[in-house]
Amino acid sequence: MHHGGLHEDDIAGKAYDRRLMGRFAGYLRPHLRIILFVLLLLPPIAGAKLVQPYLVKIAIDNHIVTGNLTGLPGLAFLFLTLILSESLLTYGETYLLQQVGQQLMFRIREELFNHLQRLSLSFFDRTPTGGIVTRLTSDVEVLGEMFAAGIVTVVGDLLLLAGIVGIMLWMNPTLSLVTFSVLPLLFFIVFRFRRLMRDAFRQVRSRLALLNSFLAESIGGMAIIQLFNRQAGEQKRFTQLNAAYRDANRPVIIWDASLYALVETLSSVAVGLIIWYGGGEIVRGHLSFGALVAFIQYSEKFFGPIRDLSSKYSTMQGAMAALERIFTLLDSKEYPADGSASLTNRSPASLTNRSLSVVPERSRKGVQGALVEFKDVWFAYRDEEYVLKGVSLTLRRGEKLAIVGETGGGKSTITRLLSRLYDIQRGSITIDGVDVRDLPLGLLRSRIGVVLQEPFLFTGTIAFNITLGDRRAAARMEEATRIVGADRFINRLPKGFDEEVRERGNNFSAGERQLISFARAVAFNPEILVLDEATSSVDSASERLIQEGLRGLLAGRTSIVVAHRLSTVRDADRIIVIRRGEKREEGSHEELMAAQGLYYRLHQLQFKG
């Protein structure tokens, strides 16, 4: 239930990876015009900031010290104009960058979610849900923050720094060198902090993924926690993970605060050096008082961007860790191969035009032609731990095939392989003689309707959960609910088909949720209907209603019924008994009972009382 390691979230790498940044730059191409416009705004913004201290120098040296106030109001007006212009230009820069940042996050999330929907189920079997959710939420947010408050604004900061250095060297080279004497120490500190902060951010992201995974599992299993009085144990585990996340943030706080404090200290040291050396220059008549004030202001403006760069560096470090995680997910190419063959017989179009309520009755004698064939199928979820071992079976058109056997014997695996939720290691599975691996996944799955043991409902309405937004299914919705008997309880609801479905359908009973999932499968009008322990969560009364509705449907539709309750498969055309991944028996109910083998013993165990 819980995860004790970092799994794939413990990603190692360089402190700065040009490959990752180059790949991220690909997402910026659609926004190049806006980015170029913002870059054009940066020089005027830097210029407005650079001129202000020099205006103060002119005001002090030419007017305030000399007592000549003529022209001082004009300088003051120009100073205020520069401040206002800087503010407006900065507003435009920030607004445009935030807009582009939001578009970037939107596009990356779209790509991630689209990628996730195409991955095979084996990926989700071994990947914690919390890690995936973290990538789509907080990791993407960090990338948006990196762009909006990082990459482009760093260019503006560098322009400002270059301008300040140039002006200070032009005004007084010696005093400038005294001021910049603290820079080697500053660069050394930033370089040393670089890897420390990157490692700390990687740990933060990893611990957050673990915490999210725990929360998702615990909230989903809250009923079990409460029924078995495991609140104290779960609280202890949560406290451990929560403390690990808190402790992972502590180094980030320490390094970030330390870097900011050291930059602030060096800034004050630089101002002290200016006052010490500049004051002596004033006494010796080599420097004006206005120039000293301007130097102090330029020094503050110089270390201001450096202070910002330290915080932006923290953002950049977090973003680099996020980029690693996001691109690692995007680089997971565990896609089921999508074939290009077509089925030779019925087309989906012919199925969609067929009425659900007038399926012709077929007796077992009228069943002709193999529709589905499993030939010597071997399959393992992991390595060579085979769940199915050389299974061969044939499903004819219009036939109802039941699969029974012990729990964990491989019954449900057969249905998953038919829909290509997983791919087999050996053997073949064909439909109309075409290997399912050669068929487009969309075509294959459109011909198979599946009802699972645990019905899954989405937040929305009953109508949406039956049709899933498909127009053709919507046209058949009411007829489908009538066939499976779901209309009996839906019509009693205040809003009918528009009744709200809460998260995972927890405002409906298990039987009602299963009836809705039955209606969903019927509404999509598949050629092959798969019922995977579909009546195990339904009470006896609901099961009778379902069986009444399905009897006519199954008679004319090829179906596979995986069942634990043997009472639900008595009328199957054929029954296959699976034991430990192998097909052991095959025949009708009467034939298998007469053989007195595995099926007979299973039947005796269920009905001996």
What's the pLDDT tens digit per position in 204-232? 877 887 888 788 778 777 767 877 778 88
The residue-averaged pLDDT of 238-251 equals: 90
Per-residue pLDDT band for 488 (boundaries 50, 70, 90) equals confident
Long-range CB contact pairs, 503-506, < 8 A, 24+: 503/459, 504/456, 504/457, 505/455, 505/456, 505/457, 505/465
Indicate if the pLDDT at residue 116 is higher than 80: yes
Choice between 454 and 180, residue whose per-residue pLDDT is larger:
180
Indicate if the pLDDT at residue 43 is higher than 90: yes
Task: Give the single-character DSSP code of 426.
Answer: E
The residue-averaged pLDDT of 384-389 equals: 88
pLDDT at site 349: 41
pLDDT at site 336: 76
pLDDT at site 129: 76
Contact (CB, 8 A) for 171 and 128: no
Contact (CB, 8 A) for 338 and 436: no
pLDDT at site 602: 85
* 107-111, 178-182, 221-225, 528-532 — most confident range: 107-111
Rounded CA-CA distance 336/437 in Å is 8
Please state whether beta strands 448-451 and 528-532 pair in parallel, antiparallel, or not at all (unpaired): parallel
Percent of the chain with pLDDT over 70: 86
Rounded CA-CA distance 554/529 in Å is 8
Rounded CA-CA distance 127/9 in Å is 10
Per-residue pLDDT band for 363 (boundaries 50, 70, 90) equals very low
Q: What is the average pLDDT score of the chain?
A: 81
Per-residue pLDDT band for 3 (boundaries 50, 70, 90) equals very low
3-state secondary structure of 5: coil
Indicate if the pLDDT at residue 5 is higher than 50: no
Per-residue pLDDT band for 2 (boundaries 50, 70, 90) equals very low
Percent of the chain with pLDDT over 90: 18
The residue-averaged pLDDT of 556-562 equals: 84
Q: Which two tokens stand for residue 145?
A: 């923050």
Q: Model pTM greater than 0.75?
A: no
Indicate if the pLDDT at residue 10 is higher than 50: no
Per-residue pLDDT band for 358 (boundaries 50, 70, 90) equals very low
pLDDT at site 239: 93
Tens digits of per-residue pLDDT, 278-305? 888 888 888 888 888 998 888 888 887 7
DSSP β-bridge partners for residue 528: 448, 558
Total residue count of the chain as it appears in this document: 609
Contact (CB, 8 A) for 144 and 105: yes
Which residue ranges form the domains of the chain, and what is each CATH number? 16-330 (1.20.1560.10)
Least confident range from 146-160, 323-337, 355-369, 483-497: namely 355-369
Indicate if the pLDDT at residue 151 is higher than 80: no
Phi-psi region of 504 (alpha: psi -120 to 50; beta: other; left: phi over 0): left
The residue-averaged pLDDT of 332-343 equals: 71
Q: Which H helix or E strand runs over 560?
A: strand 558-562
Task: Give the single-character DSSP code of 597.
Answer: S
Per-residue pLDDT band for 355 (boundaries 50, 70, 90) equals very low
